[in-house]
Structure 1
Amino acid sequence: MTKLTSILVATDLSIRSDRAVRRAAQIAREHGAALTVLTVLDDAMPLEIIDTLHAKARATLDRFVDTVCDGVNVTIKAEPGDPCANIIRACTDDVDLLIMGTHRQRPFLDAVRETTMQRIVRRISTPVLLVTDRVDHAYSTVLSACDFSPASSGAIRMAHTLAPTATINPVHALHIPYSGMLSQTKAAADAIEASFRQEAESAAKAWMRTEELPKERMEQLEILAGVPYPILRRKVDTGNVDLIAVGAHGRVGAARSILGSLATDLMREPLCDVLIARP
């Protein structure tokens, strides 16, 4: 089994980030990995204010880490700078996983610009775990969004590394373009869907045959007609899903529109904890 050796968790000392630190400690403990806890203080303030806040932030972080990171090889870093730039810089090749909490909702700004997490995911090759839920158990059920691409394969492999005993439920959203325009009767609609489904089933078989996947932990692939995000929402609402694994499309640093609409939607409105990985 592949083991994680180095984990980085970024915190802004909020309750949202507290959950991320707790999950990071739990994963580091299970893998015997070194853990770095990083908080970045915005440096666009007078130096004397930064010095005061730095001392308070470090003391607060020291106390919290002492309570949740028992038995973990942990390093604490509290530094001034730009949070996005500093986190990106900290994600060196030695870091196996970046863990973050959910971002603070800003409806207007989120509609017109990238969130900090979107910007970070787009700029790094390190897998990113977005933590939203309470940390009261290890991941046991993973919902994997599959489009049969190298990115979705990478997300499944990383999910298995993260939670080797978890069951992985792969789901493919079957897109049927212009279905309302192309079919006037239910029989015609069924025939069109059957054609697209046959194509998806053929692609799925080739994907399972050629990709290196943890097949022993994977359930039967589900092919469901519809849009990916609503399909995942229904699965989370009706099941006992701990983690969603999804691939990030596009090369590192590519335009934000290439990241992938599903990954973007899940970062903006996570349905549970979300793992985003590249091929």
Structure 2
Amino acid sequence: MYDSVLVPTDGSDHAARVAGHALGLARWFDATVHVVSVVDVSAAGGVFDAGGVSPAFVERLEDEAAAAIERIETMTDTDRVRSAVLKGSPAATILEYADENDVDLIAMGTHGRTGVNRYLTGSVTERVVRQSDVPVMTARVTERSEWAGGYDEILLPTDGSEPAAAAVDHALAIATRADATVHVVSVVDVSTVAGRPTIVAPNDILAQFESDAETAVETVAATVRDAGLDVETHVRKDIPSQGLLEYVDDHDIDLVTMGTHGRTGFDRVLLGSTTERFVRRAPVPVLAVHPTAGSEPN
């Protein structure tokens, strides 16, 4: 499923943290690893630098980028590593590199350096998650986000939509190699069903959405069982991002694999905004899968 993995880095601990997971997956899938660092000369020079930046300043930025790459390279145990210092707008440059090099997975930290040379900030990562046609794994430095050699519990949220279904194959491919239990969960957004958080939804409407959620969960669970994996199912009523975060804590989840978009309307769950909110707060790595990225494992 993953023949080529891209790890953008700025040398930060957040970038190194997600790189541990990316390199672990690369070993499992025998993938080539691309490690890149983007030098954004325009941003580094500042909006008030009308005279431009000096060659020495650009060289210093390139040296910092090369050092950031070297930090990730020291973590690898394979010779299938390609590295490059790139120049340009970070998000656009990362996406362009991924496209030109047939990358199957991008792994980015959710926060990076502060200051003029930052680029792995949440907004840039969210832009890549939103625009990438390939899955994007994100992670930040928390007590639970360090690569420990595998995953025991993988959370797979679903709302029954095709975008949510795009994440299923990726979750199964990783769970198969990790021999992990897959948790298939659907969250009924009670506040959206009611129209306002302070209004209680009619019981018949709520019951219908719960029934739909249970059907969605069982459909995915059947696919998980067919793959020979252990599965746990759950339907809960909550605000989606909050409900998923609580589930992660309550069930010691190691990895979350989720679609970047879901249904629109009352029963939406996996909207891009929900995924983005979840990514910002998740204590464990999140693999966000765009609808176009769904594919059969190989």
Using the size of structure 1 for normalisation, the TM-score is 0.80
- Identify the residue that residue 167 of structure 2 maps to in structure 1: 155
* Aligned match for 1:219, one of 210, 221, 231: 231
Structure 1 residue identity aligned to 2:209: F
Q: Is the 8 A contact 2:38 2:90 kept in 1?
A: yes
Q: 1:278 aligns with which of 290, 293, 297?
A: 290
Q: Which residue in the other structure is 2:150 paired with? A: 138
| 1:217 match: secondary structure | coil
- Match of 1:148, SS state, is coil
* Identity percentage of aligned residues: 27
Query: TM-score, length-normalised on structure 2?
Result: 0.76
Q: Distance in 1 between matches of 2:216 and 2:17?
A: 38
Query: 2:256 pairs with 236, 240, 244, which one?
Result: 244
Give deviations 1:59-83, integer Å, cap 9, x for gaps: 4532x23421112410111122221
Give unmatched runs, 5+ long, in structure 1: 107-113, 251-257
Aligned counterpart, 1:254 = none
**Compared with structure 1, are the counterparts of its residues 182 and 128 closer, same or farther at alpha carbon in structure 2 (3 Å cutoff)?**
closer
Query: 2:260 & 2:221 partners in 1: Cα distance?
Result: 19
The aligned amino acid for 2:18 is A
Q: Say if 1:10 and 1:100, in contact at 8 Å, map to a contact too.
A: yes
2:21 and 2:259 mapped to 1: Cα distance?
A: 21
For 1:60-209, list aligned pairs within 5 A: 60-62=68-70, 64-92=71-99, 94-104=102-112, 115-132=123-140, 133-164=145-176, 165-176=179-190, 177-178=193-194, 181=199, 193-205=206-218
Paired positions, count: 257
**Cα pair distance change 1:145/1:49, threshold 3 Å:** same
Shift of 1:207: 6.1
Segments of 5+ residues of structure 2 without an aligned counterpart are 46-52, 115-121, 263-269, 292-298
Q: How far 1:154 sits from its partner (Å)?
A: 1.3
Give 3-state SS (helix, strand or coil) of 2:34's partner: strand
Counterpart of 2:119 in structure 1 is: none
Structure 2 residue matching 1:89: 3-state secondary structure: helix
Amino acid at match of 1:197: E
Between 1:218-227 and 1:128-137, the stretch displaced more is 218-227
Residue from 239, 245, 263 that aligns with 2:275 = 263
Q: CA deviation at 1:104?
A: 4.6
Contact 2:38–2:65 at 8 Å: present in 1 too? no
> For the residues of structure 1 that align with 2:186 and 2:146, how far apart are their CA atoms?
28
